[in-house]
Amino acid sequence: MVNRMASRSCKHPADSFCYVCGEFLKTRAKKSSVQASQRMCEAYKAYFGMPVGDQDKTWAPHFICENCKRTLEGWYRGEKRAMRFAIPRIWREPTDHTSNCYFCMVDPSKRRSGKNAQPVVYPDIPSSIAQVPHSSEFPVPTPPAAKKQLRSYESSQSDSEENEAADLTDTAADRVPYFPNQHDLNDLIRDLGLTKSNAELLTSRLKQWNLLDNCKSRKKTYF
């Protein structure tokens, strides 16, 4: 098997393809080295739930296309972007150039043959497992940035709820009836300028209604 691979080199170098989506990178297309794209690697792990791998292998691509980089990094920052797939292309060591080698089987030359040209066929083979599109089973993941925002939103929500609860407690405390004592009543009588008979009437009524705080035991219930 090793000999079959060693007998000739691939039609296209592995680095002519995007590590993430597997698309052929045109010579002049903007591309980035996977290893130099720390942010993209973090985003890749967060999005797909698996780390970037095989960068020490010659049979895996070491570059990513501009579209994958921008989308992953944008999603990671919390922008409304999503990849077209939930599982990226997975690379394994090719075993032979004709039936299990992505770099020999993909023919990007068809791309140049006009408007009605057939799209480049990207095979799904053991050494290069095709992406799995998003579905209800594989929804677009929530970016860490949004999760953080959600967390802070939730905590700010609970903060305000706590504040509201505190406000309610204050209000409830304010609403506990206050029973004036004799001293309060004397102040009120003086402030109103009541005559002695009117003052006596008020006092007797308040006592009658149990509104005068002359009962120590009742007061105790509030402390």
Asked if 10 interacts with Zn ion (CB under 5 A), we say yes
* Shortest distance (Å) from residue 145 CB to Zn ion: 22
* Shortest distance (Å) from residue 49 CB to Zn ion: 18
Please name the amino acid found at residue 49.
G
* 66 neighbors 32 (Cβ within 8 angstroms): yes
Candidates 12-20, 131-139, 142-150, 172-180: pick the segment binding Zn ion (CB under 5 A). Answer: 12-20
Asked if 18 interacts with Zn ion (CB under 5 A), we say yes
* 87 neighbors 55 (Cβ within 8 angstroms): no
* Shortest distance (Å) from residue 117 CB to Zn ion: 20
Residues contacting 4, CB < 8 A, separation 6+ = 95, 96, 97
Asked if 44 interacts with Zn ion (CB under 5 A), we say no
| Interface map 74-113 toward Zn ion (x if CB under 5 A) | -----------------------x---x-xx---------
Pairing of strands 132-133, 85-87: antiparallel
Judged by CB under 5 A, the chain residues 139 through 168 that form the site for Zn ion are none
Burial class (CB in 10 A: 0-12, 13-18, 19+), 214: middle
Q: State whether the Cα torsion 131-132-134-139 is positive or negative.
A: negative
Asked if 65 interacts with Zn ion (CB under 5 A), we say yes
Judged by CB under 5 A, the chain residues 165 through 204 that form the site for Zn ion are none
Candidates 29-37, 40-48, 62-70, 84-92: pick the segment binding Zn ion (CB under 5 A). Answer: 62-70
Q: How far apart are CA 17 and CA 7, in angstroms?
A: 22
By C-beta, is 141 or 180 nearer to Zn ion? 141
Q: Where are the alpha helices (DSSP H) in 176-215?
A: 182-192, 196-208
Residues near Zn ion (CB under 5 A): 10, 18, 20-21, 65, 68, 97, 101, 103-104
